[in-house]
A and B are shown apart, each in its own frame.
Chain A
Amino acid sequence: MTEPILELDGITKRFGALTANDAISLRLRQGEILALLGENGAGKTTLMNILFGHYAADAGEVRVHGRPLPPGQPRAAIAAGVGMVHQHFTLAGNLTVTENITLGTEPLLRLDSRRAEAKARIRNLSETFGLPVDPDARVADLSVGERQRVEILKALYRNARILILDEPTAVLAAPEAEQLFRILRGMTATGLSIIFISHKLHEVMAASDRVTVLRGGRVVAERRTADTSPAELAELMVGRSVTRPRRAAHPVGAPVLVARGLTVREGHGTPLDAIDFDVAQGEILGIVGVSGNGQATLGRVLSGLARPLAGTLTFDGRDITRLTPRQAVQLGLGRIPEDRHAEGTVGDLTVWENAVLERLREPAFSTRGFVRRAAARSFAAELIRRFDIRGAGPDTRTRLLSGGNMQKLILGRNIAARPRFLLANQPTRGLDEGAIAAVHAELLAARAEGAAILLVSEDLEEAVGLSDRIQAIVKGRLSAPVTAEAADARTLGLMMAGIWETRHAG
């Protein structure tokens, strides 16, 4: 065994009453990829922020090559060869790639930056590690995948020997994620050592040499990846065995929402091209497809934010083609938006305010223009209890909730209104296994009560597990539906590749 190049020893960090990291120790050896696995809130990011010097630990020590790092100094971590790729990129959109990378690498009082040298070195690193990016591009013009490359190049430019990636695939589509892991593997061949944070079992299994599992701020297990299984890791991570609930067969009722020949064109969004679908009472219709094929536009139409050019949309037989957002709320069209931060909640408002925001016009929550705070608070408290929203009271600022709990709040306020129809747009994106199971259980419960649910998802396992019927969305067109029983991997794969279209054409 080689000497560990990085050791964390007894790291403890408290935020008020919360102990985010409790005496955590771990080791990283040269050329190794270590996965740090844990649910949201397990303390992974806190630990890495301590390692990189963003936070100072209350107790414990970080050693690189046996030498302790002074706490709370990113500069010292960088000098010791530690590079961090943050989950929320630390880039300036208005500046160029080169400027973002070279910041802080030259003596501040130099009279003229050596930009030509810097660009040459960036090109060189790009080629060596397979991270193509234009050094002169403005970062705001880059795709998310390219921005991540810039973040990695930033670390490599400063001669990082240890690379930390915080949830690197959270923002990537599946093929980009696979490519990233190939690149990381290539880096270890040149002697770099890598820690990546994740809560996704399959990528931990596919990409790591060793796994350290965190739960509730403690290390609960360490495994060689080859010696473990996804099932074991899931159980270690959650602390109990988690299985996603599956749909039980039950009769469906009359169609609730029916779209015929719906065509939508919007400024930048993918247009929808004459799509047909119907969702019946007590039915979940799954729309599968790679993100960016028109799902966002579909969501906007069903929320009353976009107007169709042609076609009809009916709700319980009533024409709602020219839907407005207020009508959507009044008719009981529930919505779980794709981006829970941007569209689902207002982060700086409290939980109770977010809970009743859509329904402020109802007499239950306002009289004569005044908000009935007591009623609204008790409604929020009821949601918190019924939907197991953790770490929140009615007066908690919503921004402070974890993604899973924020999603439960959005789901809860929709389901509590007993909607006739519910649009669930990527309802479990970014959530950990425990939260996914909870969201699935709620969607199935709403189905059992007779809601018509349109589930838009990239996750095939989710779509097949929940949906009665499935349609694929490709470049703004919808396939004909298949029943969940008929939807094996091959059929879905062909559907998502748009094969049904060529068949129609031919």
Chain B
Amino acid sequence: MTEAFDILLNASLWAAVLRIATPLIFGVLGALVCERAGVLNLGIEGIMTMGAMAGWLTVYWGGDLWTGLLVAALAGLLLGLLHAVLTVVLGLSQHVSGLGITLFGASLSYYLYRLWVQVGDLPPTIEPFQPLHIPGLSDLPFLGEAVFSQTAPTYLALLLVAVTAWVLARTPLGLALRMTGENPHAVEAQGLNPVAIRIGAVMAGSALMALGGAFLTLAAFNSFFPTMVQGRGWICIALVVFASWRPGKALLGALLFALFDAFQLRLQTTVEGVPYQLFLMAPYVLSILALVLVARRARVPEALMQPYRRGER
């Protein structure tokens, strides 16, 4: 017990939590924006992989890190456009299209990577984002290491939580987006175009997802592997439900999952005699538990997964 307590009091754990949470925060925000507009985006795994590859390749080819993030977001926009055309314009199954984009995005990323990059014994690397040193704050005891020694994209993710929350709750655009996820017929009756709003939301959400992928290659690691997203996208889809489709709770969910993950990594090395696979499982088991406890009260957007066609009820 005391060992577990020691781990919790260690600032390096909390720094790891923020680091692990960052791609999840981007991903969950992206999934949330899509779903609030009424479109489930299961393309998230493929879009994150694509973002990881596109961002990394840009930097590998000599672009700077911020350009890498920008290119990743653009790649996300394109895959989002594809998902939007299939599900919103053509009204096809959101599940099938999303899974298709996941397979397509993952395969295409690896294909392009192999086409354009010479891979030797070791994968090529880039110089990733370094932890920022914020004068004053970074030198604080405990908090300095735990919170104020992160890379720039982590702070960007936190900022985007606030921006997304504000846009959804306080702006006319956010209202139109939420209404499109609740009742697109109401949106049309008020003179707006629900199809355009859904396309925009899916593209923006996909760009956010791609940023989550890019964080993996541009900040967390320094090279690209085709399997590096490792189910983080699916975690994000579950976190949206956990969060009741609210950005603030989504942040909380991402941090909670990251805490489980960081904690179990440390337990693996400190506790002996327990198979490490049990610890590996822990974050997922705890996530399912949290989902069961919280999600039954969740308020689902009423028109989620319902295709909208003009002139039909």
Evaluate contact between A95 and B178: CB separation under 8 angstroms. Answer: yes
- Nearest-neighbour CB distance to chain B for A51, whole angstroms, equals 13
| Bitwise interface map of A from 75 to 99 toward B, beta carbon under 8 Å scored 1, else 0 | 1011100001010101111110001
Most chain A beta-carbon neighbours within 10 Å: one of B183, B187, B299, B313: B183
Contact residues in A for B299 (Cβ distance below 8 Å): 94
Chain A residues lying within 8 Å of B187, measured Cβ to Cβ, are 103-104
A244 within 8 A of B: no
Question: How distant is the Cα of A99 from the Cα of B302 in the complex, in angstroms?
Answer: 16
Stretch of B189-197, B227-235, B277-285 lying at the A interface: B189-197
10 sampled A-B residue pairs with Cβ under 8 A:
A54-B188, A54-B189, A78-B191, A94-B182, A94-B299, A99-B179, A104-B172, A112-B171, A113-B170, A113-B172
CA distance A52 to B189 in the complex (A): 9
Known: A94-B302, A103-B190; 5 extra A-B contacts, CB below 8 A, are A74-B188, A100-B186, A103-B187, A112-B171, A113-B170
Please provide the chain A residues from 149 to 188 with a CB less than 8 Å away from any CB of chain B in the complex. 154
Task: State the Cβ distance, B283 to closest chain A Cβ, in Å.
Answer: 31
Residues of B within 8 A of A54 (CB): 188-189, 310-311
**Chain A 34-86 interface residues, beta-carbon cutoff 8 Å to B:** 49, 52, 54-55, 73-75, 77-79, 84, 86
Q: How many residues of A contact B (CB 8 A)?
A: 34
Residues 256-313 of B contacting A (Cβ, < 8 Å): 299, 301-302, 310-311, 313
Tell me which residues across on chain B come within 8 A of A249, comparing CB atoms.
none
A250 neighbours in B (Cβ, 8 Å) = none
Tell me which residues across on chain B come within 8 A of A112, comparing CB atoms.
170-171
Please give, as numbers and ranges, the residues of chain B lying within 8 Å of A107 by CB-CB distance.
172
Distance in angstroms from A242 CB to nearest chain B CB is 29
A-facing residues in B160-185 (Cβ within 8 Å): 170-173, 175-176, 178-179, 182-183, 185
- Contact-residue bracket for chain B: 20 to 34
**Cα(A91)–Cα(B185), bound, Å:** 8
Q: Point out the residues of chain A lying under 8 angstroms from B173, CB to CB.
A: 108-109
* Most A CB within 10 A of own CB, among B185, B187, B190, B299: B190
Residues of chain B contacted by A248 (CB below 8 angstroms): none
Q: Which residues of B contact A154 (CB under 8 A)?
A: 190
Q: Are B189 and A110 touching (Cβ within 8 A)?
A: no
Return B55 CB to nearest CB of chain A, in Å: 28
Instruction: Identify whether the interface residues of A are mostly helix, strand, loop, or mixed.
Output: loop
Flag whether A111 is at the interface (Cβ < 8 A). Answer: yes
C-alpha gap A100/B310 in the complex (Å): 20
Give the most central of B178, B185, B188, B189: most A CB within 10 Å.
Answer: B189
Whether A75 touches B179, Cβ cut-off 8 Å, given contacts A90-B186, A109-B173, A113-B170, is: no
Chain A contact residues, CB within 8 Å of chain B: 49, 52, 54-55, 73-75, 77-79, 84, 86, 88, 90-95, 99-100, 102-113, 154
CB distance from A169 to the nearest CB of B (A): 20
Q: Is the interface of B mostly helix, strand, loop or mixed?
A: helix
In the complex, number of A-B residue pairs with CB atoms less than 8 Å apart? 90
- Given known contacts A54-B311, A99-B175, is B191 in contact with A92 (CB within 8 Å)? no
A117 to B236, CA, bound (A): 37
A154 to B185, CA, bound (A): 14
Residue of A nearest to B182 (CB): A92
**With A55-B311, A106-B172, A107-B172: A92-B179 Cβ-Cβ less than 8 Å:** yes
The CA-CA distance from A52 to B188 in the complex, in Å, is 11
* Residues of chain B contacted by A74 (CB below 8 angstroms): 188-191
Residues of A within 8 A of B185 (CB): 90
Whole-angstrom CA separation of A79 from B302 in the bound complex: 28
Q: How long is the Cα–Cα vector from A49 to B182 in the complex, in angstroms?
A: 22
Q: Which residues of B contact A77 (CB under 8 A)?
A: 191
User: Which residues from A are CB-within-8-Å of B313?
Assistant: 88
Would you list the 8 A-B pairs with minimal beta carbon distance, nearest first?
A92-B182, A75-B191, A104-B190, A90-B186, A106-B172, A90-B189, A92-B183, A108-B173
Q: Mark B118-158, 1 if CB is under 8 A from A, else 0.
A: 00000000000000000000000000000000000000000
Q: Give bound CA distance, A84 to B186, whole Å.
A: 11
**What's the least CB distance linking A54 to chain B, in Å?**
6
Tell me, in angstroms, the Cα distance from A106 to B171 when the chains sit together: 9
Contact of A103 among B192, B301, B302, B311 (CB under 8 A): B192
Query: In chain B, what residue has the closest Cβ to A74?
Result: B191
Q: Within the complex, which residue of A93, A100, A106, A108 is in contact with B302, where a contact is CB–CB below 8 Å?
A: A93
Q: Could you tell me if B171 and A91 are in contact, using CB atoms closer than 8 angstroms?
A: no
Note all chain B residues with C-beta closer than 8 A to A79. Answer: 191
* Of A49, A90, A94, A104, the contact of B176 (CB 8 Å cutoff): A104
Nearest-Cβ distance from residue B187 to partner chain A, whole angstroms: 7
Contact B179 A95 (CB under 8 A): yes
Across the two chains, which residue of chain A brings its CB closest to B169? A113
Q: Is the CB of A103 within 8 A of B170?
A: no
- Residues on B with C-beta less than 8 A from A78 are 190-191
Contacts of B178 in A (CB 8 A): 92, 95, 99
What's the minimum C-beta distance from A180 to chain B, rounded to whole angstroms? 20
> Is there an interface contact between B311 and A108, defined as CB atoms closer than 8 Å?
no
Q: Which of B170, B175, B182, B190 contacts A93 (CB 8 A)?
A: B182
Q: Residue on A with the closest CB to B187?
A: A103
User: Would B175 and A102 count as touching, CB distance under 8 A?
Assistant: yes
B176 and A111 contact, CB distance less than 8 A? no
